[in-house]
């Protein structure tokens, strides 16, 4: 697994080889960033952004954001093996100072205590997890987003999630088994 662009371009990221975590494929990640950079439907820029990477795993999305100029990335992951590898990746890339790691479930976070407001939210829950919509509601209800923000959700192409009350969908893209949803909180 590699970093696609930015100051860390070409550097490697260690990843878990197990059945629990599902790393974001480089091709899907590259398409997400191309849309972020070039879509006329989106108003959010990566440069100087505050990013919240939910279900972050080993951190490939958030690390890519840092490489492309994000100010700070908050990672949240509950799998201890993924957390340990995330910390190792951040230290190996010398970007630990641009990150904050939460080893917890999202619903256990005290979002009201987080002082930052975020530009980019990335949700990459396990494909069989439908509880993530409750976590999406928590983020919306705690208003930790800036006016110009984007919510990006990685789901399986067959998933039938209902975002109508939460998000105004800007764009949906499909890549193999993956479906990437771009929207803003309404």
Q: Does residue 70 fall inside a structural domain?
A: yes
75 within some domain: yes
Residue with tokens 């970007």: 95
Residue 4 lies in a domain: no
Nearby residues of 147 by Cβ (< 8 Å), 6 or more positions away: none
Nearest to 2 by CA among 21, 23, 19: 23
Alpha helix positions (H), the chain:
26-38, 60-67, 80-92, 132-141
Which token pair is 34?
A: 């191309």
Domain membership of residue 162 as a residue range: 26-185
User: For the chain, which ranges sit under pLDDT 50?
Assistant: none
Helical residues (DSSP H) of 2-130, grouped into ranges? 26-38, 60-67, 80-92
Count how many domains the chain has: 1
Q: Does 5 fall in a domain?
A: no
Q: Is 155 inside a domain boundary?
A: yes
Give yes or no for a contact between 153 and 83, defined as CB atoms under 8 angstroms apart.
no
| Residue 2 forms part of a structural domain | no
* Chain segment 11-37, per-residue pLDDT in tens: 999 988 766 666 788 889 999 999 999
Q: Given the DSSP bridges, would you call strands 118-123 and 50-54 parallel, antiparallel or unpaired? A: parallel
Q: Hunting for tokens 């696609």 — which residue is that?
A: 4
Output the pLDDT for position 164.
84
pLDDT for 41: 77
Residue 33 counted as domain residue: yes
Tell me the CA distances in angstroms from 2 to 13, 33, 59, 99, 101, one per residue in order: 6, 14, 12, 19, 21
Residue 107 maps to a domain = yes
**pLDDT tens for residues 72-95?**
999 999 999 999 999 999 999 999
For the domain that residue 68 is a member of, what is the CATH number? 3.40.50.150
Instruction: Give residue 147's pLDDT.
Output: 93
Which is nearest to 154 in space by CA: 138, 131, 172, 134?
172
């Amino acid at each position: 697994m590699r970093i696609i662009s930015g100051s860390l371009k070409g550097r490697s990221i260690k990843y878990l080889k197990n059945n629990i975590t599902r790393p974001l494929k480089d091709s899907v990640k590259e398409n997400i960033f191309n849309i972020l950079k070039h879509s006329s439907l989106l108003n959010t820029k990566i440069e100087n952004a505050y990013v919240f990477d939910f279900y972050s795993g080993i951190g490939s999305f958030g690390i890519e954001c840092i490489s492309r100029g994000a100010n700070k990335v908050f990672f949240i992951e509950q799998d201890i093996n993924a957390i340990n590898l995330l910390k190792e990746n951040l230290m190996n890339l010398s970007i630990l100072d641009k990150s904050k790691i939460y080893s917890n479930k999202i619903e256990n976070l005290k979002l009201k205590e987080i002082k930052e407001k975020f530009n980019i939210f990335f949700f990459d829950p396990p494909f069989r997890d439908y509880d993530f919509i409750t976590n999406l509601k928590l983020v919306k209800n705690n208003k930790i987003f800036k006016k110009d923000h984007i919510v990006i959700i990685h789901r399986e192409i067959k998933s039938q999630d209902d975002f109508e009350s939460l998000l105004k969908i800007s764009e949906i893209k499909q890549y193999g088994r993956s479906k990437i949803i771009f929207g803003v909180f309404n």
